[in-house]
Structure formats: structure tokens, C-alpha cells
Structure 1
Amino acid sequence: MSAVAWIAVGSLVAWVWLLLGQGFFWRADQRLPSRAAPERWPSVAVVVPARDEAAMLPVSLPSLLAQDYPGPVEIFLVDDCSKDGTGDVARALSVRYGGVPVTVVSPGEPEPGWTGKLWAVRHGMTLARSREPEYLLLTDADIAHEPDSLRELVSAAETGGFDLVSQMARLRVASVWERLVVPAFVYFFAQLYPFRWINRNTGRTAAAAGGCVLLRTEAAVRAGVPDSIRQAVIDDVSLARAVRRSGGRIWLGLAERVDSVRPYPGLGDLWLMVARSAYAQLRHRPSVLLGTVLGLALVYLVPPAALIAGVLGGDAAAAWAGGLAWAVMAGTYMPTLGYYRQSLWLAPLLPFTALLYLLMTVDSAVRHHRGRGAAWKGRTYARPEAAPDQ
């Protein structure tokens, strides 16, 4: 066989392994586990870090105010040095809609060694603990919850004995670029952190989705969070690892009734979303970056390239191996597209989307080495931590 054919066979072997040996990540079927209403509803404090979120709060905050949770619940919205009147908007919405009581506070600029979001979360958790809640719901200011969201989360945690229950909010998919890029973001995340592996009692894999995390207060204290992860840019994965290391049980799945309302209408918006933390995920190691680029190329770019080269060059082995690998790839992407209610005809375009993610990751490394690091809403972390293992 030709060298192209052998490379295509290598890609096909990789896809067979991903299909069967990576926790069936592609099935997109992990939802809240079986649950029943507890005999007594525990108290919950909702912590919402918010920086320049005046445009998002009118869509997201009313959904928290309208929670029909049967037990005691209170919202702590932490205004992280916003310049757009985020705190005033939150107070006005609380007066307008009523419902769950809201306390709006501002901790000021973060101390050295802290990322802005975790500094805000720390302040909110400290205030919340003064009420001695049994659970903390950490949710972002761009996340909208159905009225029964908190009730279902607590029921799942109580029934399953989980210390952390997290749902990956359904991201907005409206523009052409969102349809092309957003479902793949969830697909790649699940490939890196297979939900089935996370949800096993004896598993070592740990991750969470930062937009919606229900956390037992005693588990947070035991894990020392957020202080133990204060520099983490990928704070959700770091949080889950800290809870698991301290002996906690965690669960992660896809949300049905929790949605992100933040728009990413253009490619540039999505590019910045990925590039700001991609290199941190690789722990700022050039060798890991090189391996990632080569791996993405072999797994996602070789199949269509081998098929085209094989057809044009009369190399039947390359064409067949490339075509089969591409078919398996597209097939594994279809459940995620179905979850996002998108056309299955987008599945064969996954190699193009993977190429975009490859370029975003390289750009993330370039930004880091130019001293811009992870930038978000006016803050830049030149050498942030990713998700520390220790």
C-alpha cells in the first residue's frame, strides 16, 4: 500500500477506537439520572458571578427569580467591577419580578493570584455560607433556567448521593457559524471528558460545566474551593477535580432545561471564546500543542484528504480507508447534532470545523507567548493555570 493509504488506515483505526473505547462519548445521552423528591427540601444559595452582564441579565435573572423550588433559596449576584450597570440592572429586575430574594454585592478587583470569576465566586460563596445553605448552585449570568431546574438538580443530588451535579447548558445555535461550531464544541468536550467515565463512582476522569453546577456546601469546604483553584481559567474542570480528589461523587450530563442565552453570531466571537483558554487546557506546553495538532490532523483531516487523494490518484486502499473513517466520524457526530436539533447534513462538515478548532488552538498559543494569555472582558491572565491535577 501507499504511504497515504497507510496513514488513512491509521486514521480509521483511531476512529474505531474512538467509536468503541472512549466511553461512548458520542452518544450524547447522559441526562439527569433517576431521581425522586426528597422528604425534606434542603436549603440552597445561588451564586451568580457577573461582569458587564447588563444585556444578559434581563433574559437570565428572571428565570432564577421564578424558580419553584419548595425549600429555602436565595440568590447572591456578585457584580465583578462591571462598567455597564450590571448591579443596578440586577436590583431593578429583582424589584420588578419579585420571587426568590436577591442580594447584590461587589468584592472589588481580585487579589493577586486570583482570576476574576473565581474571586467573585469566592465572595459570593462566603456570603452564602453565612446563611448555612446545604447546597450551592453556581451558575453564570448568561444561563437561563426553566422554573423546575433547581428542583430537579437537588432531587438528582439527593437521590444519587452526589456532591456535585453539573449540566452542560444547551448553547445558543442560531447563526450560520453557531450551527457549524457550537455543537462541535460540545462534541469535542465530551470526547476529551467522556461523561460516562465522569459519572462512574470509581472513575478518575473529572469535569463539570461551569454554567450550571450544584455543589454540596460540605463538599466545597472539604475540597477547599474556590481557594484551591483560585488561578484556574478552566475553573469548571478544576472544581470537579478538586471535589473528586477530596472523595466527592460527581455527575455531569447534557441539559434539557438549562440554556445559554449568550449569542456568538460571528466566527470572530466563537474564535475568541475558544482561543482564550485552549492553550491553558494544554498546560502551555509546546510539546502537547504539537501532539494535539498532529492528532487533530490524523483523526479529522486525513479521512477526507485520503478519500480525495485516493479517488484522484487511483489509490483504492487510500480512498476506502479515508471514506470509511470519514463515515464513522460523521456517524458519531450525528447524536450531538440531533441534541441541538440541527440538520444531520452538517455531520460531513466536521473535518472543516475541526480545522477551525486546530487554528483556534494554535492562535491561543500565539496569544499566550505574546503575553496576552487568557483575555476576558478587559482582564488578561498572561500565565493562567488550566485545571491542576494536584
Structure 2
Amino acid sequence: MIFVVIFLSINMKGLIRISKKSAITSDAPLVSICVPARNEERDIGACLESLLAQNYPNFEIIAVDDHSSDRTGEIIQSLADINDRLRFIQGQPLAKGWLGKPFALHQAQSVAKGEFLLFTDADLVFEPLALASAVQLAQERNADLTTLMPATIFGSFWERCIQPVIFGFIASLTRFEKILDKDKHNAMGFGAFLMFKREAYDSIGGHESVRDEILEDVMLAKRVKRSGLNLVVADGKEIFSIRMYHSLKEIWQGWRKNIFIALRKSVFWNIYYIFMILMFVPAPYFLMGANIYLGGEWTLVLSFCSLLLVLATSIGLAIELKLNPLYTLIFPLGAIMMVAIMLDSMFQVVILKRSEWRGRVYQQ
């Protein structure tokens, strides 16, 4: 447990922190921003308005309505009618062998003219200097792919309860220093912000090379590293934000489609990490309670020390996520809920042999 606390502290220090830069006023490369949207009427307006308000002189936005059944297309079109920078594309019927998001982004990039291609999501909000800051980082680091983590907005009880635990789990599996080492194959990609040099994107086969991947962002990042190209992963919490899910149902469905696949569809690793999560987060609380009830001086001291380590790690995570540290007290419940989602994710793939998202069912 002490090792985990030390590792997480050191690991996060290996992460590049991007801050707001000054605006670029000259020689700004054209950036094509590609936004896929399927049933995103709740968020697409705010996302596109924040992109249109970028303090950057040379960009275009290509938004693809992926056969939404709500007002998504209507909202995009209304904004495109009054903004020359925004182009609205009605998505083609889903091609055989493709998943929805890769296909929508493939269509967007096919008409893009930019030297840089920025693939993002419809539920993000960007600060005015976000694009300028990201382009300067990419140029400074000579990045073929720049991928950024957004700030997370927590609204409901379940968002504050479950999401931090899942983010902490992901951070514990991510080796940021190795990702930034071109000689290592470690990679991570965040679908919220993937900005490629055009030639690098084309050289790895673009979205066509990951057309049937649910975790297409991670797979693209891996292709970049395996091709000997330069991948830069950075913390972008200062320049854009996301509220991923708004309810327990959305959290459950969103992570259910990802977690087991992220663990390479391995029953062994899924069960192993379930055990580790239970041992690291809720178990010290239960042991502390049991020792108080049953007595035993030394066991009480040991369980108290274990609980302090878990609380220290949880508070550090909460501070990193700009969440009130008091919410760490509900992280044990979040861990139990995460385990339930992991079991359901495994059940969906191993037993039902399928994944479902946005009303589409994909066979596994």
C-alpha cells in the first residue's frame, strides 16, 4: 500500500502541465477541429460556441451529425449558418466494419484542410486560449500527436462518488514518463483531445486503421509510438473541461463499454484488479471498524495506519481533480460501484459478446 501511494505521487510528477499561453498572432498553422456528435443536443451548442470563440487566427471546425435522433443536427446547422468557420456534415450511413465514432471522424478529416487535425468530443468546453496553448505546446515539443486530459466537472452525487475512483485507477496504470520516452512503446490517448500533424495522421493510417476499435483514441496513440513518432501527453485542465456523465445510468453505461476492453479482454486481469481495488479502497475502512469493535491494540494501530495511507492518497486525488476532499469519504462506495461496473463489462463481452453505446450494439 505504501508503494502505491509513493508510485502515484511520483507518476503524476512525470506529467506535463499545460497552461494558458499568449495568443498566436502570426504564422499560425491551420487547425482543423473535427467534432463527432450523436444525440448530443444537451452539450453540442456550448462546445461549438467555445470553439468558435478561440483566440486563434487560423482554424476551421467540421462537425458531423452521426444520425442523431434529437436536435443535434439542427443545433449544429443553426450555428453553421452564422459562422463561416463551422462546417456541418450530415453523416453517411454507418459503413460495414466500422464503429460510429471512428467513422464520423474519418468523414470529418476527409474534408479537412489543416496542417493540424484536432479530434475532440461534443461534450467539452474550451477556454479562449485553449487552441493557441495546445499548438504552442505541440510546436515546442515537436509533437506528432498531442493528447490532453481535460478538467472534469462533477455534478451529481454519483459523479463525485465513482468518477474519481475510476480516474485514480487509470492513473495507477499509466506510466507518464515512459509515454514521453520515444524508445518505449507505452502510450495513452484521450479522445477528448487528439491533435495530430496531418502527415503523421496519414502515415499511421488514420481512423481507418482503428475503424473497429472502441478505444480508438488509445489505439491511435499506440500506432504513433510504434511508428517511432513523437507522442506528447499533457494535463490540460487549465484550458478545457468536460462533464462526462450526468447520472448513475450514464456512468454505468459509459464505463461498461470500456473497462473490460481496456484490460485487453482478460478475465484474469479484470478479477485481479477488482481484488486490488477492494483491498486498497474499502477494505481499510472495514478493517478499522472491525478492529474498533473487536479490540486488539496492535491490529487497531495497523488498520489505522492503513486507513491513513488510503485517506492521504484519496485526498491527493481529490485535490488533483479540484474536488472537495470531504468527498473522499464516499470513495469506498465508489470503489464498490466500480467493481460492479467491471463485472458487468466483463459479462457483456465474455457472455453476451457485445458492447453497446449511443443506441448501437457492437458484436465482440
TM-score normalised by length of structure 2: 0.91
| Alpha-carbon distance between aligned partners in 2 of 1:151 and 1:365, rounded to the nearest angstrom | 41
Superposition deviation, residue 329 in structure 1: 2.1
Which residue of 168, 174, 183 maps to 2:164?
183
Deviates more, 1:373-382 or 1:320-329: 320-329
Partner AA of 1:244 in structure 2? K
| Alpha-carbon distance between aligned partners in 2 of 1:26 and 1:379, rounded to the nearest angstrom | 36
Q: In the TM superposition, what whole-angstrom CA distance separates every residue of 1:92-121 from its partner, at most 9, and x where no partner exists?
A: 01334x3x6122113423222211100111
Partner AA of 1:199 in structure 2? L
Are the counterparts in 2 of residues 44 and 134 from structure 1 also a CA contact under 8 Å?
yes
The runs of at least 4 aligned residues of structure 1 exceeding 6 Å deviation read 33-36
The residue aligned with 2:130 is 149
Residue 285, structure 1, aligned to residue 266, structure 2: yes
Structure 1 pair 360–159 and aligned structure 2 pair: CA distance change class (3 A):
same
Q: In the TM superposition, what whole-angstrom CA distance separates every residue of 1:284-339 from its partner, at most 9, and x where no partner exists?
A: 22222222222222322332232223333334443333322222222123233224
The residue aligned with 1:101 is 85
Partner AA of 1:24 in structure 2? I
- The equivalences for 1:54-203 within 5 A come to 54-70=41-57, 72-96=58-82, 98=83, 101-128=85-112, 131=113, 133-203=114-184
Give unmatched runs, 5+ long, in structure 2.
Answer: none
| Alpha-carbon distance between aligned partners in 2 of 1:316 and 1:126, rounded to the nearest angstrom | 68
Are the counterparts in 2 of residues 372 and 380 from structure 1 also a CA contact under 8 Å?
no
Structure 1 pair 146–167 and aligned structure 2 pair: CA distance change class (3 A):
same
Are the counterparts in 1 of residues 20 and 133 from structure 2 also a CA contact under 8 Å?
no
- The equivalences for 1:22-37 within 5 A come to 24-25=10-11, 30-32=16-18
Q: In the TM superposition, what whole-angstrom CA distance separates every residue of 1:145-172 from its partner, at most 9, and x where no partner exists?
A: 1111111100000011111112222222
| Alpha-carbon distance between aligned partners in 2 of 1:197 and 1:348, rounded to the nearest angstrom | 32
| Alpha-carbon distance between aligned partners in 1 of 2:44 and 2:303, rounded to the nearest angstrom | 47
Identical columns (%): 25
Partner AA of 2:66 in structure 1? D
Q: Secondary structure at the match of 2:77?
A: helix
Residue 259, structure 1, aligned to residue 259, structure 2: no
- The equivalences for 1:322-337 within 5 A come to 322-337=303-318
Are the counterparts in 2 of residues 167 and 209 from structure 1 also a CA contact under 8 Å?
yes
Are the counterparts in 1 of residues 182 and 229 from structure 2 also a CA contact under 8 Å?
no
Give unmatched runs, 5+ long, in structure 1.
Answer: 1-14, 384-390
- Equivalences, count: 362
Q: Secondary structure at the match of 1:138?
A: strand
The residue aligned with 1:19 is 5
Are the counterparts in 2 of residues 24 and 194 from structure 1 also a CA contact under 8 Å?
no
Residue 297, structure 1, aligned to residue 284, structure 2: no
Q: Secondary structure at the match of 1:256?
A: coil
